[in-house]
Amino acid sequence: MSNPVQASADSDKKYVVHPYTNLSGHEDVGPFTIVGGEGIYVDDDQGNRFIEALSGLWCTSLGFSESRLVDAAIKQFNKLPYSHLFGHRSTQPAIELSERLVKMAPEGISRAYLVNSGSEAVDSAIKMVWYYNNVLDRPKKKKIISRKRAYHGVTVAAGSLTALPYAQDGFDLPAIDTLYCATPHYYRYGENGESETEFTDRIVGELEQQIIDADPDTVGAFFAEPVMGAGGVLIPPKGYFEKVQAVLSKYDILMVADEVICGFGRTGNMWGCDTYNIKPDMITCAKQLSSAYQPIGAVLVSDKMYSAFVSGSDQHGIFGTGNTYGGHPVASAVALETLNIYRDDKMIEHVQSVSKTFMRRLNEFESHPLVGDARGVGLIGALEFVKDKSSKEQYPVTDKVGVQVMNAARKHGLITRALPGDGIAICPPLIITDAEVNEMFNRYKLAVDEVYANMRA
Ligand SMILES: Cc1ncc(COP(=O)(O)O)c(C=O)c1O
């Protein structure tokens, strides 16, 4: 008989379908099973402890042992474990959470629609764009603009906006009418001799041309992550969103900020919209909304759009969309308590303070021979690896330098993630301290040094 840890690994291989995993390699690699956590650390089933430098999937802002969230869940489980919001029904946690979200949202947002995940939030927002334009009698205005390397989730419509081959290939995506515009990543896509401002003007000019070519009367909305996460942690060039929004306004195209990663402090302000001066018609959010202790997301909707939904009822009767678990009372109670902790612990001020150490340690990598670009904001960052710093030439894709660094980091007690474009992500829980930031970067350094030595050899 094998031991319990081995038996569990065997069962994993036998029964579990792993998302975003090379399924043919899983038999050999086996599961990496996490069994516990404390603060910014998690423990595996072999007794190893790691710094969770990706906060799970960019989500566990409060780390892995926040008892206030556990207590909030238990309290709500005991009071009312389930009810829903269909057909005028409501629950106190859903009401309170919606009010809190609207009051903390950027100007113009007046309602919250609760869902269970980021993908559902994005999918719902796409439906809302379509519904809105139908109510306004603009039935052609339905195309959605996304950006190359964007990540907006995996459901059929949201997955159509996720412009990463690994998430679309083999799934017949895109399945909705989507336009993909340029990635706002100056380091990699800026042309020789082009300044950051010239780069921004060029790609925004291209965006406008795409809209004209597609016919502006057929373009409904532009979806954008303030900082593009899974596509590479790409920080927008200065002035980018202001210029994009001027174009969108000209053609009456809605601006949807996908704050699934950036929302709730990640960029050093409550919203990525605050950091980059975005004036959204809708916000999609999830992840840090509950520190991922419960699955919950939301679409925050502007008054302009909500008024149209209300008049839609004259035509359609009910607003015919909703999820069984949308606004789940336990998830809502946990999300509310998460927002209470952000307020009580002054989380935004904390991020701004610790971000100084974070950015200093991140920027030190600029001089590393393997690193072409070290970029970040707030408590999110990335390193992009190159073979030649001056020409920015990369190693062949088959060398998988980012994956090598990710694997080396694991040996040094650090969980991180390789990014498209040969990078590595850095996105620790927001509760991280200055000392822990230093410890985390020490481990990144060991991993990067080790891979650099291998590549040279
Ligand atoms: C910006 C963004 N939008 C949407 C999603 C999808 O969220 P979920 O995985 O909860 O469906 C993600 C997930 O990483 C994301 O980063």
Please work out whether the CB of residue 229 comes within 6 Å of at least one atom of ligand 1.
yes
- The pLDDT score that the predictor gives to residue 344 is 98
Q: What is the mean pLDDT of the chain?
A: 97
C-beta 230 within 6 A of ligand 1: yes
pTM value is: 0.98
pLDDT reported for residue 210: 98
Question: What is the 151 CA–ligand 1 centroid distance (Å)?
Answer: 7
Ligand 1 atom 7, closest CA: 118
> Is any atom of ligand 1 closer than 6 Å to the C-beta of 290?
no
| Domains detected in the chain | 32-65+346-456 (3.90.1150.10), 69-344 (3.40.640.10)
Q: How far is the CA of 7 from the centre of ligand 1 (A)?
A: 32
Sign of CA dihedral 442, 443, 445, 449: positive
Residue 1, pLDDT score: 55
CA of 31 from ligand 1 middle (Å) equals 23
Atom of ligand 1 nearest to the CA of 155: 11
Specify the pLDDT at position 303: 97
The alpha carbon of 275 and the centre of ligand 1 are apart by a number of angstroms equal to 20
Partners of residue 223 on adjacent β-strands: 256
Q: Determine whether the shortest distance from the Cβ of 145 to ligand 1 is under 6 A.
A: no
3-state secondary structure of 252: coil
Please state, for a pLDDT cut of 70, what percent of the chain lies above it: 100
Give the atom of ligand 1 at the shortest distance from the alpha carbon of 287.
Answer: 10
Cβ proximity of 439 and 409 under 8 Å: no
Q: What is the pLDDT of residues 100-119, one digit of tens each?
A: 999 999 999 999 999 999 99
Q: How confident is the model at residue 150 (pLDDT cuts 50, 70, 90)?
A: very high
Which pair of structure tokens corresponds to residue 206? 């291209």
DSSP 60-74: -TTTT--HHHHHHHH
Length of the chain: 457
pLDDT at residue 105 in the model: 98
Q: Please name every residue paired with 113 in a beta bridge, in sequence order, or none if there are none.
A: 299
- The band of 132, judged by pLDDT with boundaries at 50, 70 and 90, is very high
Top mutation candidate among 60, 151, 296, 299 for ligand 1, by most atoms within 8 Å of CB: 151
Ligand 1 atom at shortest distance from the alpha carbon of 158:
4
Give the residue from 343, 339, 240 showing the smallest Cα distance to 298: 339
Residue 119 near ligand 1, beta carbon < 6 Å: yes
Rounded Cα distance between 435 and 361, Å, is: 12
HEC assignment per residue over 264-288: CCCCCCCCHHHHHCCCCCEEEECHH
pLDDT in tens, 50-80: 999 999 999 999 999 999 999 999 999 999 9
Nearest to 350 by CA among 63, 89, 22, 104: 63
- pLDDT tens digits for range 373-389: 999 999 999 999 999 99
Residue 260 Cβ contacting ligand 1 at under 6 Å: yes
> Is 153's C-beta closer than 6 angstroms to any atom of ligand 1?
yes
Residue 225: band (very low, low, confident or very high) from pLDDT cuts 50, 70, 90? very high
Q: How far apart are CA 385 and CA 231, in angstroms?
A: 15
Atom of ligand 1 nearest to the CA of 122: 4
